[in-house]
Structures are given as C-alpha cells and as structure tokens.
C-alpha cells in the first residue's frame, strides 16, 4: 500500500497548512479535510472509498465539494465509511439539502452519487487485498482511528484522540505494525484546552507512548498552525526515546 499525505495540520493558513486527509493508493481516502484540494480532478474521480474518523469539519470539509466536482465523471457511487454516529451527522448536518444536496439520493436513490457504509469498531473492510480496520479513539464526538494493513505491513492512524487505553491495546495487537501516525494538537502550556477538547499535548503523549509495546516509526500530526515549532520542540524533548518525526504534506509511506 502507498499512503500520500495530502494534509495533516490542525488548521489552515499559508501554503502548507492543509487539514487531515491521506490518499491510499489511488482509490482510498482516509478523512477528507482541506488537503483533498491538492488533488487533480482526475485524481479525485479515481477515489472510490472514503473512510472518516469523525465528523468534525477539519476532517470532512472537502467531501461535499469533491463529490460535486467529479460526480459526472464517475459511473458508480462513492462509498463513505464511518461509524453510524458519524454517518448520522453527515445526513443531518451536511447532506441535508439545506447545507448541501443529499447525494445519497441524487440523481436517484437507486443510482446515487454517494452511498453510506457503516463500520463498527474493530471491523475490517477488505478492498482488493488491502485491509482497513477501525481502531478505538477518545474524542469529544464519536471517533475512530484506522489501521491500514497491506498484508506485508501495517500503518496505524489515531485520528483525533486524547488518552485512550483501548487505542493502545488495539495498536499493540497489530502484528506487523510499521508506522504510527498520532496527533498532538497543542503545546504543554495549553494542556487545559487540550484536555477539554480531547487532544494530546507533549507531556501526556510521552506518558501514553510508554504503553506502546511495538517497535515502529512514529509520526506527529494535527499540530496547530502558529505553534508548530514550539510543540515539536517540546515533543522532541519529551519523546526523545521514540525519535518522532513531524508529518509533512506530500510525505509518502509504502508498506
């Protein structure tokens, strides 16, 4: 499997700040934040599957526009995967005819531009030999992370989360883990805000990573614009034993 980082920031502003979205091979998206705008129309039209971690805007913002842009270039529905709570939020608050057309009924309910597919925690979806599994997460709204397994190696993505024993138990059970992408949205001096919004900050992430029993490369995502350097300096100091790297736009992982 090949994963390309389209966006990994906790906000927008400036040339390189794009919110969360990863392109897997040519046909799968993990989240649909503003990073999706990096793709050409042909690349957008080739996407058949979108897996959402949760329904916050920075992770779904580009989905409505993406479908609208390429619907006339596709001959089958785009499948949007998420927990039932996430899909319900999309139905009620996005694809509701008030904010955006309900593409699960356009041009008809029998042949729509988009279809929903509910995914349960720990469920695995297999797509042409590639396996996508939902991991536990702890956020202010229902949320999951994802494990991507090529059969040879796996990449785990936390999505948005704060401390979660269930997440680490699930990650430690991945036998071929090669990469872990984990969020750290706030610097230490904003620990209270991070705690309220259920995100990591460096001191707590360092403590949580001690629960990791796997040897893998660790990559930090969801850094807030304007605080990237300060947060990464604290991360490098707190997590020195783990040698984490900062996730970058257009970074590519093959596994």
* Predicted local confidence at residue 249, as pLDDT: 95
Residue 153 φ/ψ, nearest 5 degrees = -155, 165
Residue closest to 35 by CA, chosen among 50, 48, 123? 50
Rounded alpha-carbon distances, angstroms, from residue 149 to 126, 132, 184:
9, 6, 23
The Cα 1–Cα 110 span in angstroms is: 32
* Predicted local confidence at residue 14, as pLDDT: 78
- Name the pTM for this structure: 0.97
Averaged over successive runs of 10 residues, the pLDDT of the chain (255 residues) comes to: 98 90 98 98 98 98 98 97 98 98 97 98 97 98 98 98 98 98 97 98 97 96 95 95 95 98
- For residue range 20-37, list pLDDT tens digits in order: 999 999 999 999 999 999
CB-CB contact of 138 with 167 (8 Å): yes
Torsion of CA 163, 166, 170, 171, to 10 degrees: 10
End-to-end CA distance of the chain: 5
Rounded alpha-carbon distances, angstroms, from residue 86 to 75, 135, 227:
26, 14, 29
Sequence-ordered strand ranges (E) for 40-168: 49-51, 78-82, 114-118, 124-127, 130-136, 144-149, 154-157
CATH entry 3.40.50.1820 includes domain 2-254: no
């Amino acid at each position: 499997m090949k994963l390309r980082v389209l966006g990994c920031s906790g906000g927008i502003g400036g040339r390189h700040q794009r919110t969360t979205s990863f392109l897997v091979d040519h046909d799968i998206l993990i989240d649909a934040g503003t990073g999706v705008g990096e793709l050409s129309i042909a690349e957008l039209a080739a996407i058949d599957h979108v897996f959402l971690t949760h329904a916050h805007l920075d992770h779904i913002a580009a989905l409505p526009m993406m479908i609208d842009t390429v619907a006339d270039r596709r001959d089958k529905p785009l499948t949007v995967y998420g927990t039932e709570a996430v899909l319900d939020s999309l139905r009620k608050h996005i694809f509701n005819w008030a904010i955006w057309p309900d593409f699960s009924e356009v041009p008809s309910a029998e042949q729509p531009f988009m279809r929903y597919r509910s995914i349960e925690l720990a469920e695995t979806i297999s797509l042409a030999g590639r396996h996508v599994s939902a991991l536990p997460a702890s956020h202010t709204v229902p949320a999951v992370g994802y494990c991507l397994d090529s059969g040879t190696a796996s990449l785990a993505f936390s999505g948005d989360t704060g401390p979660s024993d269930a997440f680490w138990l699930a990650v430690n059970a991945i036998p071929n883990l090669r990469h872990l992408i984990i969020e750290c949205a706030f610097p230490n001096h904003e620990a209270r805000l991070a705690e309220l919004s259920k995100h990591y900050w460096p001191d707590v992430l360092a403590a949580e990573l001690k629960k990791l029993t796997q040897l893998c490369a660790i990559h930090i995502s969801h850094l807030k614009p304007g605080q990237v350097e300060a947060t990464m300096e604290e991360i490098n100091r707190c997590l020195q034993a783990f040698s984490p790297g900062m996730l970058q736009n257009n970074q590519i992982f093959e596994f």
